[in-house]
Amino acid sequence: MSTLSSTKDRRGSAGLLFATPFLVLFVVLFLAPLAYAAYLSLFQTKLVGGTKFVGLDNYARAVADPLLLQGVLRVATFFVVQVPVMLLLALLFALALDSGLMRLARVVRLGIFVPYAVPSVVATLMWGYLYGPDYGPFAQLSRAVDLPVPRFLSEGWMLGSLANVVTWEFVGYNMIILYAALRTIPGDLYEAAAMDGAGAWRIAWSIKLPALRPALLLTLMFSVIGSFQLFNEPKLLQAIAPDVIDSAYTANLYAYSLTFIGQQPNYAAAVSFLLGLVIVIVSYVVLLTANRRRTP
Amino acid sequence: MRRSTPLTIVMLAALAYFLLPLFWLVVASTKSTEDLFTTFGLWFSDAPQFLTNVGSTLTYDDGVFVRWLRNTVIYAVVSASGAALLAAAAGYGFAKFRFRGQAIMSSAVLGAIMVPATALAIPTYLLFAQVGLVNTPWAIILPSLVSPFGFYLMRVYAQDAVPDSLLEAARLDGAGEVRIFFQIGLRLLAPGLVTVVLFTLVATWNNYFLPLIMLNDPNLYPVTVGLAAWSAQAAGGGSGGNSDILALLLTGSTLSVLPLMAAFLLLQRYWQSGLAAGSVKQ
């Protein structure tokens, strides 16, 4: 008995050994920066008086900061509108591809996925030029048929234009995750359902959708994280629409501006922290509501 | 099974939406700066000059674009292979062994999946600035080595892909744990490993925020930050900017997206099966 448990122990420590390099880097590169930022966020540097401990003052300032609230509100709006559209499209595409009812399914699947491999920098540049009111093809077409030129980069349209870029980038990625999950459903389930007289819609609704739950939750969680840290697209469109996108357009853009333009690292650390906290809370709420709906 | 033509047409329309911007980009990279402003955006001009554009993109400013491409390749390949190996070893260790503190460590790492990369980036910058790592290649590579999602994927994958009986048999043959991992474990984990490699590769290749804040020497830029700098020059302060650089920017963009697309197409068999494993378990 004792020899058995000692081999088990030795084996257990082998498991820890395999995990150690990852865990060490996790502590150094993940937990340490967070801890350091938490520490920094408790201080303030003033021109007069230097750096001093201020407790939670930075957080108090942040929750009442209209610029931060405006940025959070904007990404929340973005999340509420863009994510359902993106995930619904991804779901419909995945179901269509999996139905076996269409031709060229392979080409379509890879083609829709391709934008994921395009850096967001390039994606935003492309759409930026496509949106252009002077030389963009949409503007050229509108002028050719004497219609008003669509103002994609104006204040009213900007959030929608950003949502379009992000949707373009990530529908394919989400579709592939859902499609991969659909492919793992055993075929005899469909055969049994067909035997019972279920059509394609009925099968999609009663078998495929429930089987997709974990994959849908995964995509939903990634979408929460993605939307709330929106940065690249607005940052790059800022160059061609500086009047619309200010330095606090999204919460993350604001944290960036605070660190690198405003030179307020202590306050920026507090803002980053709060932003991360908001994202974790929203993720949990989304997961909880999604899970609760399963078990009525 | 009977095929549906309406469904095929709808899906081809969707496909057109996803390929249109890329088509525009390819067309644009065949044009001279003048043609970019005077011809219709979605079709070729009378004098396509793709190779001329590639030549000027690669040689502009002492070949700075080639340097950016090389940096991107180094950052992405080192990060992706390192991250995948670390995640595979840890995932294997967590899936196939029991040790003290496992549950707590596991939930700490899984909780980290929810911490957004950019919310972590500024704290990492502040820390790296203290220890003098800012503006070095390590500033890009080190943070990319830790992939909590890669860990999750590999743990789930190792659970099923590596049978315990096989490990037991190897142990009875007297093989050490490290040898078993490298000779049996890694081979069985290959599809999951390729998935993590590819997705970390994309994440590093396409990363913009981290290098933007970490680097200020243009010689260290990856292609994304370099292109964004060209873009800022092309858009330039109101007075039309440096419009000559526009053709370079668009050709450079085209060149920068080709390698990843090729990698995804060539390796699709692997990453699709790896993804399937990660998306059905919780």
The pLDDT tens digits for B220-229 are 999 999 999 9
B176 to chain A, closest Cα gap in Å: 10
DSSP string, A227-274: HHT--HHHHHHTTT-TTTS-TTSSHHHHHHHHHHTS--HHHHHHHHHH
- Note the pLDDT of residue A189: 83
Element (H, E) at A46: strand A43-46
Q: Beta-carbon neighbour count of residue A17 at 10 Å?
A: 16
H and E: helices and strands count for chain B: 15, 0
Which one of B34, B40, B106, B122 would you mutate to disrupt binding with A, by most A Cβ within 10 Å of its Cβ?
B122
Within an 8 Å CB–CB cutoff, is residue B43 touching chain A? no
Q: Both tokens of residue B117?
A: 């990369």
Q: Report pLDDT for A6.
A: 52
Distance (Å) from the alpha carbon of A26 to chain B's nearest alpha carbon: 6
- The answer to whether A255 contacts B122, with C-beta atoms less than 8 Å apart, is yes
A236 touching B (Cβ < 8 Å): yes
Predicted local distance difference test score (pLDDT) of residue B224:
95
DSSP output for B10-57: HHHHHHHHHHHHHHHHHHHTTS-HHHHHHS-TTS--SS--HHHHHHHH
Are the beta carbons of B279 and A214 separated by less than 8 Å?
A: yes
- DSSP class of residue B267 equals T
Q: So what's the pLDDT on residue B239?
A: 47
> Is the residue at A172 inside a domain?
yes
Average pLDDT, chain A: 87
What is the structure's pLDDT at B16?
95
Q: Could you say which residues from 188 to 227 on chain A have a Cβ atom under 8 Å away from some Cβ of chain B?
A: 214-215, 217-218, 221, 225
Let me know: does B204 contact B143? Beta carbons within 8 Å: no
Phi and psi angles of residue A50, each rounded to the nearest 5 degrees, phi first: 65, -155
CB B150, CB B83: distance < 8 Å? yes
The alpha-helical segments, DSSP class H, found in B97-163 are: 102-112, 117-131, 138-145, 148-161
Q: What is the pLDDT of residue B243?
A: 66
Q: Is the pLDDT of residue B218 over 80?
A: yes
Q: What is the pLDDT of residue A78?
A: 95
Distance of residue A217 Cα from the nearest chain B Cα, in angstroms: 9
**What digits encode the pLDDT tens for the residues B102-138?**
889 988 898 888 777 777 888 899 999 999 999 999 9
Phi and psi at A45, nearest 5°, equal -110, 125
Q: Enter the ipTM.
A: 0.87
A103: how many CB neighbours lie within 10 A of its CB? Answer: 15
Q: Which of B41, B213, B281 sits opposite A214 (nearest CB)?
A: B281
pLDDT for residue A66 is more than 90: yes
Tally of domains in chain A: 1
DSSP A118: S
User: pLDDT tens digit string along A164-214?
Assistant: 999 999 999 999 889 988 888 888 888 888 888 888 788 888 888 888 888
* Predicted local distance difference test score (pLDDT) of residue B241: 57
User: Do A101 and B114 make contact, defined as CB atoms within 8 angstroms?
Assistant: no
Please report whether residue A225 resides in a domain: yes
Class of domain B50-280: mainly alpha
* Cα end-to-end span (Å), chain A: 47
Query: Is residue A115, in this structure, part of any structural domain at all?
Result: yes
**B271 has a pLDDT exceeding 50:** yes
Within chain A, residue ranges assigned H as helices are 2-26, 32-40, 57-63, 66-98, 105-113, 120-131, 137-144, 155-183, 187-195, 200-203, 209-228, 232-237, 251-260, 265-294
Beta strand pairing call for A43-46 and A50-53: antiparallel
Question: Angle at Cα B222 formed by Cα B218 and Cα B227, nearest 5°?
Answer: 80
pLDDT digits (tens, 9 = 90+) for B47-82: 888 888 888 888 888 889 999 999 999 999 999 999
Q: Name the least confident of A240-249, B45-54, B188-197, B239-248.
A: B239-248
* Nearest beta carbon to residue B25 from set A97, A126, A172: A126
On whether residue A19 sits in a domain, the answer given is: no
pLDDT over 90, % of chain A: 44
Contact (CB<8Å) A252/B21: no
On the question of pLDDT at B275 being above 50, the answer is yes
Q: Is B77 exposed, middle or buried (0-12, 13-18, 19+ CB in 10 A)?
A: middle
pLDDT for A8 equals 56
In terms of average pLDDT, the best of A25-34, A46-55, B55-64 is A25-34
Instruction: Look up the domain containing A65 and give its range.
Output: 42-294
B26 token code pair: 């390819």
Residue A82's CATH number = 1.10.3720.10
The domain ranges of chain B are 50-280
Does residue B167 surpass a pLDDT of 70? Answer: yes
Assigned domain for A5 exists: no
Assign B186 to helix, strand or coil: helix
Which pLDDT does position B174 carry in this prediction? 87
Q: Quickly state the pLDDT bin for B91 (edges 50, 70, 90).
A: very high
- Rounded to the nearest 10°, the torsion over CA B118, B122, B124, B129 is 150
> Cα(B112)–Cα(B96) distance, rounded to whole angstroms?
22
Kindly state whether residue A34 falls inside one of the protein's structural domains. Answer: no
* Residue A4: predicted pLDDT: 47
Give the max Cα distance, chain B.
76
A266 and chain B in contact, CB less than 8 A: no
Query: Distance (Å, rounded) from C-alpha A119 to C-alpha A116?
Result: 8
Contact with chain B for residue A36, Cβ under 8 A? yes
B82 and chain A: CB distance < 8 Å anywhere?
Answer: no
At residue A254 the predicted structure's pLDDT band, cuts being 50, 70 and 90, is very high
